[in-house]
């Protein structure tokens, strides 16, 4: 009995002794909740995103994407992510800079696409790659590099995150780069982030990041995974091998010149005659404006069957069927690299355990349907917003 009450007394004293620790932990958690220290960033060709793991509930959060566009205004200020400035300052507004990272200017000379940019692209001295010539107020030009543009975008993403969270501790970052980037291009990508004051703690291939967003590396039933990434200007397909929590890149294929912009072009071409003034033979709707409206209609037709485009005093009802028949060729071309990847790897569709869809253009129902048919009726993974999958994967990896 005496022993019993002695033990109780010791237990009671111990509880009192550890009470301050409990109180401190409880208040510490509420007064000083755990902070985000590591983040994931997808520095994309047309859009960039930052994501992080919420330390309170371990879910990944993604901030609204920022268009990968930087305007170097004549007064010396930089504006990041405002496509409207393209109209007002076409020679000062640089976009798609990622396409020029670590490439030699000589590779681009004579490329028709180069002359479609409203800004001036030049070769830097002694084979240092490509630069963008931006007029400044003193009638002199300033040359910016893809590194400068990337640094501005990353700085802006970080600034928005600091704004959102209210503190600055997240300086460690996991980044992603296209699987077909060379070592030099990957080093330059890392440099962009370091120049923006961040510490790169990991670099993933974009398809690997997308697979990680779906947690495929944790699934024992997964081995062969295909990542199909169809963005604004390019199509990238990758074959991954997943085993024991590791993801290995086996092969890549793609089309550097096939993206959502090509869907806009074929759709535009099929619709343009409806906005033609038959008497004068001239377009009633300005080409540039019609193109913008066509892109909006294309995106709407991914979720509705019918929409309309009004331009130059004409209005026309347009159906998803119109889009699919106008863009039949482009939609077919989008399957070519996928078939080739399977053929080169000597794989049947049934050998593939999962297909992950990434990039805005994979929202087109017809491409989802065609890929489902190619894989014997098994639909690809589309639960995660295809624009955010790479950033989510990078954020997950940053917490591993
Ligand atoms: P990138 O990886 O090149 O930065 P994104 O993944 O952001 O590009 O994809 C941009 C492309 O996705 C654009 O061509 C855009 O029109 C297209 N897109 C976005 N949403 C949709 C949609 N709902 N339906 C069809 N295409 C879409
Ligand atoms: Mg992308």
47 CB less than 6 Å from ligand 1? yes
Distance separating alpha carbons of residues 302 and 267, to the nearest angstrom: 14
Tokens of 333: 């071309």
Q: Helix (H, G, I), strand (E, B), or coil: what is residue 124?
A: coil
Give 180's contacts (C-beta < 8 A, 6+ positions apart): 236, 252, 254
pLDDT of residue 23: 63
pLDDT of residue 400: 81
Q: For the chain, state the CA radius of gyration.
A: 26
pLDDT tens-digit series, residues 229-259: 999 889 999 999 999 889 999 999 999 889 9
Distance separating alpha carbons of residues 245 and 332, to the nearest angstrom: 35
The protein residue with its alpha carbon nearest to ligand 1, atom 8, reads 231
Give 224's contacts (C-beta < 8 A, 6+ positions apart): 239, 240, 241, 242, 347, 351, 352, 353
CATH code for the part of the protein at 260-330: 3.90.640.10
98 CB less than 6 Å from ligand 1? no
231 CB less than 6 Å from ligand 1? yes
Mutate to test the pocket of ligand 1, among 293, 360, 366 (most ligand atoms within 8 A of CB): 360
In this predicted structure, the answer to whether residue 128 has a pLDDT above a threshold of 90 is no
pLDDT band at 114 (very low <50, low <70, confident <90, very high): confident
pLDDT of residue 152: 98
pLDDT mean over 83-94: 92
189 CB less than 6 Å from ligand 1? no
Distance 338 CA to ligand 1 centre (A): 19
Tokens of 366: 């017809």
pLDDT of residue 386: 96
Domain ranges of the chain: 218-258+334-380, 260-330
Bridge partners, residue 358, by sequence: 229
In this predicted structure, the answer to whether residue 4 has a pLDDT above a threshold of 60 is yes
The number of the ligand nearest the C-alpha atom of 362 reads 1
In this predicted structure, the answer to whether residue 313 has a pLDDT above a threshold of 90 is no
Percent of the chain with pLDDT over 90: 70
CATH code for the part of the protein at 218-258+334-380: 3.30.420.40
178 CB less than 6 Å from ligand 1? no
pLDDT of residue 230: 96
Which alpha helices (H) appear in the chain, and where do they start and end?
2-31, 85-88, 105-108, 146-165, 183-195, 206-213, 260-271, 287-300, 320-326, 328-333, 336-344, 365-374, 389-398
In this predicted structure, the answer to whether residue 299 has a pLDDT above a threshold of 90 is yes
Distance 146 CA to ligand 1 centre (A): 22
Percent of the chain with pLDDT over 70: 95
320 CB less than 6 Å from ligand 1? no
Residue that is written with structure tokens 């790897």 in the block: 345
Tell me the whole-structure pTM to 2 decimals: 0.87
pLDDT of residue 289: 84
C-alpha distance from residue 383 to each of 20, 160, 214, 399 (Å): 46, 26, 9, 22
C-alpha distance from residue 167 to each of 28, 37, 53, 291 (Å): 17, 10, 15, 42
Contact status, residue 302 vs residue 260, Cβ threshold 8 Å: no
In this predicted structure, the answer to whether residue 208 has a pLDDT above a threshold of 70 is yes
Tokens of 281: 């033979």
pLDDT of residue 144: 96
Q: What average pLDDT is seen over the chain?
A: 91
pLDDT tens-digit series, residues 137-173: 777 899 999 999 999 999 999 999 999 999 988 899 9
Q: Which residues of 146-175 are buried (b: 16+ CB within 10 A; e: fewer)?
A: bbbbbbbbbbbbbebbeeebeeeebeebbb
pLDDT mean over 38-50: 95
pLDDT of residue 174: 98
């Amino acid at each position: 009995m005496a022993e019993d009450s002695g033990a109780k007394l010791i237990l009671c004293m111990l509880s009192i002794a550890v009470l301050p620790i409990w109180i401190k932990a409880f208040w510490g958690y509420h007064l000083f909740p755990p902070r985000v220290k590591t983040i994931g960033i997808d520095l994309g060709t047309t859009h960039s995103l930052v994501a992080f793991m919420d330390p309170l509930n371990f879910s990944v959060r993604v901030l609204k994407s920022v268009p990968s566009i930087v305007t170097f205004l004549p007064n010396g200020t930089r504006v990041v992510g405002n496509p409207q400035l393209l109209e007002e300052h076409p020679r000062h507004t640089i976009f798609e800079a990622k396409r020029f990272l670590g490439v030699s200017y000589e590779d681009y000379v004579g490329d028709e696409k180069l002359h479609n940019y409203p800004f001036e692209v030049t070769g830097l001295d002694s084979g240092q790659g490509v630069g963008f010539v931006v007029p400044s107020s003193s009638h002199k030009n300033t040359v910016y590099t893809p590194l400068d543009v990337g640094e501005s975008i990353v700085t802006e993403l970080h600034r928005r995150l600091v704004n959102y969270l209210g503190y600055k501790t997240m300086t460690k970052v996991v980044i992603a780069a296209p699987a077909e980037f060379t070592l030099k291009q990957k080093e330059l990508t890392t440099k962009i982030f370091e120049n923006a004051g961040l510490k790169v703690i990991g670099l993933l291939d974009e398809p690997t990041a997308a697979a990680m967003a779906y947690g495929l590396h944790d699934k024992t039933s997964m081995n062969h995974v295909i990542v199909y990434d169809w963005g604004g200007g390019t199509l990238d397909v990758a074959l991954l091998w997943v085993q024991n929590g590791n993801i290995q890149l086996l092969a890549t294929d793609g089309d550097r010149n096939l993206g959502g912009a090509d869907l806009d072009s074929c759709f535009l071409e099929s619709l343009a005659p409806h906005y033609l003034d038959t008497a004068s033979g001239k377009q009633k709707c300005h080409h540039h404006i019609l193109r913008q409206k066509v892109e909006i209609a294309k995106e709407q037709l991914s979720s509705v069957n019918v929409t309309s485009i009004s331009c130059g005093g004409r209005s026309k009802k347009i159906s998803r069927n119109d889009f699919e028949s106008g863009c039949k060729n482009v939609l077919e071309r989008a399957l070519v690299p996928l078939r080739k990847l399977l053929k080169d790897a000597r794989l049947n569709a049934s050998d593939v355990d999962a297909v992950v869809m990434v990039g805005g253009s994979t929202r087109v129902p017809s491409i989802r349907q065609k890929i489902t048919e190619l894989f014997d009726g098994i639909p690809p993974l589309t639960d995660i917003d295809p624009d955010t999958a790479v950033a989510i994967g990078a954020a997950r990896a940053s917490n591993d």
